[in-house]
Structure 1
Amino acid sequence: MHFSSFFSVFFCGLVLAVPTAPVPRDCSAEAREYNVARRDARGLSKRTFYSEMLNTTCVLAPETPSEDYIPNPPIRVDVTENQPGVLFTVDIGVLNTVTCQPLTDVMVEIWSPNAVGEYGETFLRGATTTASNGIAEFLTIFPGYTSDSANHLNILVHSTSSESSSVVHYGRLFFTDPWTNIIGMYTNYNQNTNTRVLNAQDPIFAEANQNGFNSIIECASLLYMNILVLNRLF
């Protein structure tokens, strides 16, 4: 079974916190307001899925970039390079967990495998800085599973607007297996010849979700997005 057509664009997100201090501030209230403002800006006010905005703070385990990382990707928002697949927009918001205020002009990188689980030298790779609202927005496609990993996105955050500045966070973001089951029926994804890797079979997923850490992206609706917020300390 496969779909010759699906939905053109969907939105995913969660609220993330990167622990860089022993006792970071709880920014859940600010994250809620942040999500509402971003949702209104997208014109999605009437496209609700949850009865209220998600504002749970999830914590990413510290990781290091994997061997598929290539430094200095192109500066761009649309990273698709005409790769076939299910388009989706991801907004990565960077918050200071001391002040709970957005951090502007911070370089964010994103990269992922294509629908059949292959990494390229340029496609599905890009970088951009956070805007005045602290958000870096990317247009990409839902990633396929690789030979040794479940479906995931990679993100990297720098300390300044320069790609040569120090890296303050790297993380791998996963999706729920039910979502990847649905996407896997879509044309192009069903051509993936890798053996399917579920989250529970991915050792990196296990590491990223132990000891209270959480690296799962919430897919709220096909038409509505709760933004992805990356909380961090300076």
Structure 2
Amino acid sequence: MAPEVMEGPYYINNEYVRTDLTETQAGVKLVLDIGVVDIVTCTPLPNAFVELWAANATGEYGGYPAGNPTHVHTETFLRGGYYTNANGIVEITTLYPGFYESRTAHIHTMIHKDWQQHANGTLISQSGSLVHVGQFFFEETWNDKIYETLPYTTNKQPRTLNTEDELIEGANGGGYNAFIDLELLGDDISEGVLGYITVGVDTRKSYPIENKYSL
């Protein structure tokens, strides 16, 4: 089972239901295949909404200018998600996340059961049951390679390594591996990377969403 990890200050409710989160952002493409397993039945969980949000190449979150968690605007890059298929798998295209002060490269995730969406194509975040709040991480060898490329080299924030991140140990607790398995999509990093990770969730749970900001 994947451990629960803090939601963090940069969540925004009611983001778009979509499989491509990149918008006009520059960076290394990350095609992420996520499998969701119900630990109660030990079977894949279909129609689970897998929501992601992450910082861009220079360490900023869409919706939060200059990393200010008290000021929200309408940017939606690198936010949103989609639902798992009959085999409990969803594929979402995003970008390899940048680092920022006190945090190594990571992607936030929430997994919703019995979710609903608005007529405008956005998730109703408070619908259904939130069965998991977590974070995904990357091996430092991949971080090193990608952070040598543009636009990551323009990130002026101090880099935090995996060994310095305060949340990475908890996210990998109980025998769970919160590191995404990666491989190149083509001949080199410029063509992007493909990632795989499986998340075990307890479908009997229902966690609150702390952040009240919404799209």
TM category (shorter chain) comes to 0.7 to 0.9
Within the candidate set 3, 11, 22, 1:80 is matched to 22
Letter in 1 for 2:93: L
Within the candidate set 69, 77, 81, 1:123 is matched to 77
Measured after TM superposition, the shift of residue 150 of structure 1 is: 0.1
Unaligned runs of 5+ in 1: 1-17, 19-59
Measured after TM superposition, the shift of residue 130 of structure 1 is: 1.2
Within the candidate set 219, 222, 231, 2:182 is matched to 219
For residues 160-215 of structure 1, the C-alpha deviation after alignment (integer angstroms, 9 at most, x for no partner) is 23332221101111101111000001110000101010001111113323453432
Letter in 1 for 2:164: Q
Contact residue 3 and residue 171 of structure 2 kept, 8 A = yes
Counterpart in the other structure of 1:112: 54
TM-score (norm 2): 0.75
Give the RMSD, CA atoms, in angstroms.
1.8
Counterpart in the other structure of 2:8: 66
Contact residue 61 and residue 214 of structure 1 kept, 8 A = no
For the residues of structure 2 that align with 1:134 and 1:65, how far apart are their CA atoms? 23
129-138 or 73-82, larger mean C-alpha shift: 129-138
For the residues of structure 1 that align with 2:109 and 2:20, how far apart are their CA atoms? 15
Unaligned runs of 5+ in 2: 64-75, 117-124, 187-192, 204-215
Would you say 1:172 and 2:142 are equivalent positions? no
Report runs of 4+ in structure 1 exceeding 6 Å deviation.
Answer: none
Q: Map of 1:192-231 to 2, 5 A cutoff?
A: 192-210=155-173, 212-223=175-186, 227-231=196-200
Measured after TM superposition, the shift of residue 227 of structure 1 is: 3.3
Change (3 A) 1:95 1:207: closer
Identity %: 36
TM-score (norm 1): 0.70
